Amino acid sequence: MTISTTKKLLGAAIAASVVFALAGCGQAPTDKPGGSGDPAASDFTPCIVSDAGGFDDKSFNQLSYEGAQKAADELGATLKKAESNAETEYGPNIDNMVSEGCNAIVSVGFALSQATVDAATANPDTDFILVDDAGGDSKPDNVKPLLYDTAQAAFLAGYLSAGYSKTAKVGTYGGMEFPTVTIFMDGFKQGVDYYNTENGTAVEVVGWDGTTGSFTGGFEANQDAKTTAQNIIDQGVDVLFPVGGPIYQSGLQAIKDSGKDIALIGADADLFNTDPTTADFVLTSVLKAMDLSTYEAVMASADDSFSGDAYIGTLDNEGVGIAPLHNFESKVDAELVKKVDAIKQEIIDGKITVTSYLSE
């Protein structure tokens, strides 16, 4: 059974060597080098460069940082970091990490792709781990892309939202119209459409029609993000899915200001855990296990098993998923939850195909 939607394509094609198993990211070594008290600990230096938002964004920067920090702790190494506040800082921050003698450098976000590829080309003995981008046709072998087919997980969130909605309207909006953003929105709409097909309903998705939709123009929690959320809320939705790091904070404020019973869906991290202020509002979150894949990539670099083959997170390898319902568990019909679980397995088994720019 195939669910169709307009695909958002990367500017450069995914390399033919892309692998679909977690092993492609490199398994964590059994004997970890540089452990506590090991003199080799100082011989390996892991580093990380953030996108805008910083390492406390409660989203993708934070998760990637946590994965790199976990690896550093196990290796007995010191994680060096550089936070980017503007696009002009990406290249200099990466170059600074190179000059600091970093053995593995994690670049968080597709916006850092070109700067990462440039630095990797100039420094072939350094391992680069690029989160959320394939690196383009010119990607050298010392760049490992970490990619996530979040459409699969967002499909589940879309189905859940459609079944939960009382107004038969759910909404989504993004930071900027990039494939790594719209892949969430694509999957979300496919899940709602599938619910309608299965149940003979007509739940509407506000903010994304499969081709275009609502975007804040950036990834900051600001007035533009709040206005975008408010415009969608004004159309009668009772579920809101912001995609773009901190922009969920503006969506949450818009929900509070509306005085309406509107559920929030998180992106990347489980907002219930990373941001306690969302506890009474967050229905679920669409997860990207960037902490796990970043951790394993750094560990692979440390034990010389690093590979430039791309890793793609899926439901099958637990690279993507949806968070527990937490405080909403009693508010969601148990049969709906069972159905979502069944659909998850059908996606894993290939009985339902969720399309995205990564699915091919």
Domain count within the chain: 2
Residues 175, 258, single domain; the answer is yes
Residues 275, 247, single domain; the answer is yes
Quote the strand ranges of the chain, DSSP E. 2-3, 46-49, 80-82, 104-108, 127-131, 143-148, 169-174, 204-206, 239-243, 263-268, 282-288, 311-313, 320-322, 353-354
Residues 235, 278, single domain; the answer is yes
Assess if residue 191 is contained within a domain.
Answer: yes
pTM above 0.75, yes or no: yes
Backbone angles phi, psi at 234, to 5 degrees: -65, -15
Token output for 26:
């490199």
**Residue ranges making up the domain that contains 135:** 13-148+290-313
Give the span between the Cα atoms of 312 and 318, in whole angstroms.
10
Residues 122, 252, single domain; the answer is no
Residues 248, 332, single domain; the answer is yes
For 204, 238, 251, 263, 337, the CA distances from 166, given in Å and listed in that order, are: 12, 7, 19, 11, 16
Assess if residue 339 is contained within a domain.
Answer: yes
Residues 143, 186, single domain; the answer is no
Give the span between the Cα atoms of 288 and 64, in whole angstroms.
10
Residues 130, 197, single domain; the answer is no
- Per-residue confidence in pLDDT tens, the chain, 360 aa: 444 443 333 333 333 333 333 333 333 333 334 444 443 445 899 999 998 777 877 777 888 999 999 999 999 999 999 999 888 999 999 999 999 999 999 999 888 999 999 999 999 999 999 999 999 999 999 999 999 999 999 999 999 999 999 999 999 999 999 999 999 999 999 999 999 999 999 999 999 999 999 999 998 899 999 999 999 999 999 999 999 989 999 999 999 999 999 999 999 999 999 999 999 999 999 999 999 999 999 999 999 999 999 999 999 999 999 999 999 999 999 999 999 999 999 999 999 999 999 987
Residues 217, 257, single domain; the answer is yes
Residues 140, 171, single domain; the answer is no
Backbone angles phi, psi at 213, to 5 degrees: 180, -150
Assess if residue 318 is contained within a domain.
Answer: no
Q: What is the DSSP letter of 32?
A: -
Token pair 């968070």 in the structure block, residue:
323
